Structure 1
Amino acid sequence: MRRSIVWFKTDLRLHDNETLVKAIAKSDEIIPVYCFDEAQFKVTEYGFKKTGSFRAQFLLESVADLDKNLRELGSGLIILKGKPEVEIPKIVQEYKAYKVFAKREVAHEEKQTEAIVQAELFKLRCEFETLSTSTLYHAEDLPFSIKDIPDVFTNFRKKTEKDAVIRTVFQKPLRIKSPKIAEINLPTLNDLGLGKIAIDSRAVLHFKGGETEGLQRIQHYFFETKSISKYKETRNGMIGADYSSKFSAWLAMGCLSPREIYFELKKYETQYEANESTYWLVFELLWRDYFRFMMKKYRTKFFQLAGIQNKGIKVNKHNIQVLQSWIAGATGVDFVDANMIELKLTGFMSNRGRQNVTSYLCNDLKLDWRYGAAYFEQQLIDYDVCSNWGNWAYLAGVGNDPRGNRYFNIEKQAQDYDKNEAYRNLWLNVID
């Protein structure tokens, strides 16, 4: 009996999941597991939790949905809690598994965890195979090696679009053979050391975790509302569910794959229309790929003050009061404050808002940009390590921006994107 473990991480889906498909093909039985890694719920050196309540709630919903979908195919999900390097080997021994399949990581801490787990499995003579499942373009299909990827996005995009092909998606398995798996036992937010979240009625969308919800969101945004056809014009909006795709949270947790979105988009283009807006979504997915490949290329440099450019930047001495006023939305700059209050109360903020509050922290307050990135890490429902740290480094002038310092004139931005002050009024007025 060749049994293998499928270790789910940020790939919480059955569609287009090469890890799962390969494991099924190479095994008589598979045992799907998810480990709530205690390291993901600790406080970082910047004083923020690695995972806050909004994302943890989304994660719990995503894991529950994955279990439900697995059970429909004759399997289920085993929940582990603790250190993966301790818990995964225990399961391997219990089920006498010959191999563990998992998604391949690129960021520093995740790579370290992967290496420690692999070393522990080696002691048990258990193989460990990782597969790349997070990007639109597969790293092996790029027209350059990782070390030669251009440091300017436009150069990367043009050559990739011209010379690389997007692989087709892996079909969802029809049936999964597993030993009997007991009912799921999920931790609560409290078990994870987190407080309960309240749903704010002003939130742009009630993000609910899971592949089922993610697929519904694609249907809604593409086929039911056809909002995708005007995405380029509306994407800088700040109020409402459909000014942008809002796929980011499901992408970050791996409930959706970028390729799946791409091929649904192609279907939409065939059925309705292809225009600049439909292309622009692919453009944004390419940025997401780019940050992931950059993280692979530069590793820990994305977490250093000088960034990938090794650039000495002047920052003020760390001032906890100034940082807290930014977090609380109490800077006195209404456009910044409205955005920060939205983030604090909902775990989400528009792309336009993110650029402005980041520029304000880096250029006006002149604080160490990594405190801002770490607060976003705690707070964002759609936090993705590569996109978050890549974007912060970019706007701090130490990342992939060829222009260097990207200063946003906040007053002008507010005038351009919130002319009638509807957004500021929404978030700055206290609700009873």
Structure 2
Amino acid sequence: MNMTSSKTGLYWFRHDLRLDDQPVLTELASRCQKLLLVYCIDEDWFTHNQFGYCAMGHHRQQFLYESLYALNQQLNNYQQSLLVVTGEPVEEITQLIKAYDVDILGVGEYPGLNEREQLKQFTLKYPGVHMITGSNNSLFKPTDLPFEVNTMPDKFSPFRKKVEKAITPVAPVEPVALIPPPPIALQTDWPSLPLQRGNSSSYNGGEHAAQKQLKYYFFDKHLISQYKETRNGLDGWDYSSKLSAWLANGCISPRRIYAELKRFEAEHGANDSTYWLYFELLWRGF
């Protein structure tokens, strides 16, 4: 496909509910004149299994809702909005591509089985749509690893030693500067979304909340300097970084956390505790 003729793009948010460190979104925004920004709530998340449980519980639903709503508020500053749809993700994205004659799809790559299967299905259905993809929720690009993915060590210690010796995490990119307008004004009916909401808690979803917690833990209280000694605590807020939930939704990227960790070390000194948070990010990546 001749990329100069492409006019309409669609960015499919998945586990990356943020505008900072979004290289795929940044590239997509530079290649199109109109842009749809979409998140799909998978209807299978609410299907109960034989034990009466569904894939996403009440607290996670609330955190996701808050993350989506916060992202939409950020996008409003760009005269844009987040379209949240519910259904089977590949089918929903396919319908939008047909309806708005989308030329380019931007989407992050993730190692999960369902996420990989979704992209495989989409490619089979729409081989003519150009795709921009990338690993936007990991420390490293797969192509930078000192081994092929299919020959990656199956134990963490050999993985860590090889990676630490050979490469450093990818530097995060700054938030996207300009986002093209949507092809048509589309609004999400927020009250009707099938996500449970409740009272606010210490965990509030969204990129701003993630950045606020990182600043608090690193630079306001310097708690990162004792992370290794306190990380396994059971009570209170300050014994660990509390960044896991925001990482899971992609409200903050591991690359941004690593960059801020190195900034803290440059300003305040490195120790076993600051290294240990990087160690945990490596473990997450493994």
Using structure 1 for the length normalisation, give the TM-score. 0.62
Secondary structure in 2 aligned to 1:79? Answer: strand
Q: Following the alignment from structure 2 to structure 1, what is the Cα–Cα distance between the partners of residues 124 and 82?
A: 24
The answer to whether the aligner puts 1:237 opposite 2:233 as a matched pair is yes
Structure 1 unaligned spans of 5+ = 200-204, 291-432
What amino acid is the match of 1:15? D
Contact map agreement 1:77 1:181 (CA 8 A) in 2:
no
- Which of 185, 188, 203 is equivalent to 2:189? 185
- In the alignment, the residues of structure 2 paired with residue 44 and residue 114 of structure 1 have an alpha-carbon distance, to the nearest angstrom, of 25
**Kindly tell me: are residues 118 and 130 of structure 1, through their superposed partners in 2, closer, same or farther at Cα, counting changes over 3 Å?**
same
Distance 1:58 1:95, change over 3 A: same
Deviation, structure 1 residue 126: 2.1
Question: 1:88 and 1:176, CA in 2 relative to 1: closer, same or farther beyond 3 A?
Answer: same
3-state secondary structure, aligned to 1:232 = helix
Counterpart residue type for residue 138 of structure 1 = K
Q: Summarize the Cα distance change of 1:110–1:43 in structure 2 as closer, same or farther, 3 Å threshold.
A: farther
Partner of residue 63, structure 1? 68
Q: Which has the larger radius of gyration?
A: 1
What's the counterpart of residue 97 of structure 1? 102
Q: Are 2:141 and 1:141 aligned?
A: no
Residue 248 (structure 2) aligns with: 252
Q: In 2, distance between residues paired with 1:138 and 1:107?
A: 16
Q: How far off is 1:244 after superposition?
A: 0.3
- Cα drift, residue 157 of structure 1: 0.5
Match of 2:179 in 1: 176
Matched-pair contact (CA < 8 Å) for 2:22–2:176? no
Q: 2:114 aligns with which of 94, 103, 109?
A: 109
- CA deviations 1:278-315 (Å, max 9, x no partner) are 1000000000000xxxxxxxxxxxxxxxxxxxxxxxxx
Instruction: Give the letter for the 1:150 counterpart.
Output: P
Query: Which structure has the higher relative contact order (CA within 8 Å, separation 6+)?
Result: 2
The structural deviation recorded for 1:94 is 2.2
1:259: Cα distance to partner? Answer: 0.4
The one-letter code matched in structure 1 to 2:272 is: E
Correspondence 1:73 to 2:78: yes
By how many angstroms is 1:110 displaced? Answer: 2.3
CA shift in 2, pair 1:269/1:4, >3 Å: same
Over the matched positions of the two proteins, sequence identity in percent amounts to 36
CA contact (8 A) 1:84 1:117 kept: no
- Secondary structure of 2:190's match? coil
Residue 213 (structure 2) pairs with residue 217 (structure 1):
yes
Question: Of residues 14, 23, 27 in structure 2, which corresponds to 1:9?
Answer: 14
8 Å CA contact retained: 1:141, 1:165: no
Partner SS for 1:147:
helix
Name 2:154's counterpart in structure 1.
151
Structure 1 residues 108 and 213, CA gap change in structure 2 (3 angstroms):
same
The aligned amino acid for 2:66 is: E
**Residue 3 (structure 2) aligns with:** none
- Amino acid in structure 1 at the alignment position of 2:227: Y
Structure 1 residue 187: deviation in Å?
A: 5.0
Matches within 5 A, 1:331-346: none
CA deviation map 1:392-416 (0-9, x unaligned) = xxxxxxxxxxxxxxxxxxxxxxxxx
2:204 paired with 1:208: yes
Structure 2 Cα separation of the partners of residues 118 and 45 of structure 1:
33
Aligned residues between the structures: 280
Supply the distance in 1 between the matched residues of 2:52 and 2:14 (Cα, whole angstroms): 25
Decide whether the 8 Å contact of 1:222 with 1:265 is kept in 2: yes
1:59 and 1:120 map into 2 onto residues whose CA distance is 29
Q: CA deviation at 1:231?
A: 0.5
Offset at 1:175? 2.0
> Unpaired runs of 5+ in structure 2?
1-5
User: Residue 171 of structure 2 contacts residue 255 of structure 2 at CA under 8 Å; is this kept in 1?
Assistant: yes
- SS of corresponding position for 1:213: helix
1:2-43 deviations in Å (ceiling 9; x for gaps): 111000011001000122112112222221111111122222
8 Å Cα contact 2:11/2:106 also seen in 1 = yes
TM-score norm. by structure 2 comes to: 0.92
- 1:117 Cα deviation from its structure 2 partner: 2.6
Measured in 2, the distance between the counterparts of 1:233 and 1:270 equals 21
Match of 1:121 among 103, 106, 126: 126
- The residue matched to 2:178 in structure 1 has which SS? coil
Indicate the SS of the match to 1:177.
coil
Cα distance in 2 for residues equivalent to 1:28 and 1:131:
21
Task: Give yes or no for contact 1:9–1:103 (8 Å, CA) kept in 2.
Answer: yes
Q: Distance in 2 between matches of 1:32 and 1:251?
A: 20
- TM-superposed CA distance for 1:87, in Å, is 1.3
For 1:4, the aligned partner's letter is G
Which whole-Å CA distance do the structure 1 matches of 2:35 and 2:115 have between them? 24
Q: Deviations over 1:154-197 (max 9, x none)?
A: 111111001012221111012211125344322557x34x5x55
- Cα distance in structure 2, aligned partners of 1:44 and 1:128: 34
Query: What's the offset of the Cα at 1:88?
Result: 0.9
2:160 paired with 1:160 = no
Residues 137, 239 of structure 1: CA spacing in aligned structure 2 closer, same or farther, 3 A cutoff?
Answer: same
